[in-house]
Amino acid sequence: MFSDFDFGVIQRSLPYLIKEGLTFTLTLTALSTIGGVILGTLIAMARLSSYRVLQVAGAGYVNFLRSLPLVLVIFWFYFLMPYILQWVTGASSPVPVGAFASALITFTIFEAAYFSEIMRAGIQSIPRGQPAAAAALGMNYWQSMWYIILPQAFRNMLPVILTQTIILFQDTSLVYVVSLPDFLGAASKVAQRDGRLVEMYIFAAIVYFIISFFASWLVKRLQARIAIIR
Amino acid sequence: MSYNWNWGILLEQSPEGIGSYLYTLWLGLQWTMLVAAGAWILALAVGSVLGVARSLPGRWFSPLATAYVEIFRNIPLLVQLFLWYFVMPELLPRSWGLWVKQLPNAPLYTAILGIGLYMGSRVGEQLRAGIQALPRGQMMAATAIGLTVPQAFRFVILPQAYRIILPPLTSEFLNTIKNTSVALTIGLLELTARARAMQEYSFQVFEAFTAATVLYLLLNIAVTFAMRLIESRVAVPGLGVLKK
């Protein structure tokens, strides 16, 4: 069955796959996790605030993005971004956006909807006495959020955030639909150039599996370590 | 913005010659719903087997089901679809591989198979959680009154577990619908692919994607509403009290 396989193609293309592809994928995952958590936390705070407008806007953002497929959102931003930049900068024609920047903005905005649900649960898990005590000490809203609530919420939710990051890592493979050079895109490029689809796609699957599996295992260990015994 | 809006484009003929652009989007929505329905049935079947297997005592069933879940959860859906579509026919015996490649509507079957098996691992995890949420006494009482283990699952455990996990199953079904869009990479002409095609033919990017977005939102609302209806239909008065 494997007699006419050419596993040499993997070895030959490995430097390209790792230096271009995997670097793109991992950088995109890391940066959009950071961006997504920050934006998601702000949205969660908006949904939990006492202002009706902010509540509705936050809920609308989350529900809207969560009912759309990521592939469609990737297309949206891929085509929309040049026009937005033109509008912002006042240029005379749509401004071309780099592949990486386009993907990063898309994933930050899309994943923020999911991260905000996690952070909302995290903030709600903090006992009511905590913000009350912070207010009694004379802290204002931002101080009590920054010093008291968010650090605890973040710690409680860290395993869930990291699990979502693993999902995000797998989701980045979808930038394939706009031909960006992520890991799968690079593998697919080599596969089509050399006519070695079978070898390259199996190899890509194994790499994704090993990284995700190992990361999940680390998250499980972390969860056991940081769990607060109540 | 220097973009020329032209909403009338939706009613113009598409160059594929089958009707207006709006009609091609409607066809895409039908494909999306067909694949989602097929994949969901497969996912429920696979997930039920996995969920039960992971709750069984013994050395064989549970690890096998765990291995399935780990493999299908840790590989991106897109890569899985590529494996089913490009790689599997090559690994089959030659004559079978040829038969698979010549199947009409191969993307349709591949999408249902790939998405169904992928979502099956997630449904299985939900069901396992639902079964674990039941008090141990349920199983004990069932076997104490003389039910065999299969009977206990059929008449006592599963009817309760499925009711518990109905809300998460709703969101898994919505995920299935959204995941059908990944199948455009293997040539399935579902809603997102139709919007993309409309954009390429007509250059009216934002009308195409706006129309697709609206259709997805409507589909979501319809499904959420239907699942709420099912939830209230199958609810057993007082069953919630049993929890804890």
Per the CB < 8 A criterion, the answer to whether B119 and B101 are in contact is no
Question: Is A208's CB within 8 Å of B74's CB?
Answer: yes
Per the structure block, which two tokens stand in for B201? 């033919």
Domains of chain B: 33-242 (1.10.3720.10)
**A22-A28-A29-A32 Cα dihedral, nearest 10 degrees:** 180
pLDDT at B92: 85
What is the predicted ipTM? Answer: 0.89
Q: Which residues contact B91 (CB under 8 A, 6 or more apart)?
A: A1, A198, B97
CB-CB under 8 Å, B212 with A209: no
pLDDT digits (tens, 9 = 90+) for B36-95: 999 999 999 999 999 999 988 777 888 999 999 999 999 999 999 999 999 998 888 888
Question: Which two structure tokens, joined as six digits, stand for A158?
Answer: 């860290």
Please write the tens of the pLDDT for every residue from B117-161. Answer: 999 999 999 999 999 999 989 999 999 999 999 999 999 999 999
CA distance from start to end of chain B: 57
Averaged pLDDT for residues A58-85: 92
| Closest chain B CA to residue A214 | B74
Of all residues in chain A, what percent carry a pLDDT higher than 70? 97
| Domain segments of chain A as ranges | 8-226
Instruction: Report the gap between the CA of B92 and the closest CA in chain A (Å).
Output: 8
Highest CATH level, class, for A8-226: mainly alpha
Q: What is the pLDDT of residue B242?
A: 46
| pLDDT attached to residue A230 | 58
CB B142 within 8 A of CB B155: yes
Contact B206 A79 (CB under 8 A): yes
d(CA A77, CA A109): 10
Q: Do B1 and A70 touch (CB under 8 A)?
A: no
Q: Is the pLDDT of residue B35 over 70?
A: yes
Beta bridge partners of B13: B20
Among left, alpha and beta (phi > 0; psi -120 to 50; other), residue B103 is beta
- Answer whether residue B243 shows pLDDT above 60: no
The beta-carbon neighbor of B205 closest among A64, A79, A174 is A79
Cβ B179–A69 below 8 Å, yes or no?
A: yes
Please indicate whether, in this complex, the C-beta atoms of B79 and A71 are within 8 angstroms of each other. Answer: no
Task: Identify the contact set of chain B against chain A, taking CB-CB distances under 8 A.
Answer: 1-3, 70-71, 73-80, 82-83, 86-87, 90-91, 174, 177-182, 184-185, 192, 195-196, 199, 205-206, 209, 212-213, 216-217, 220
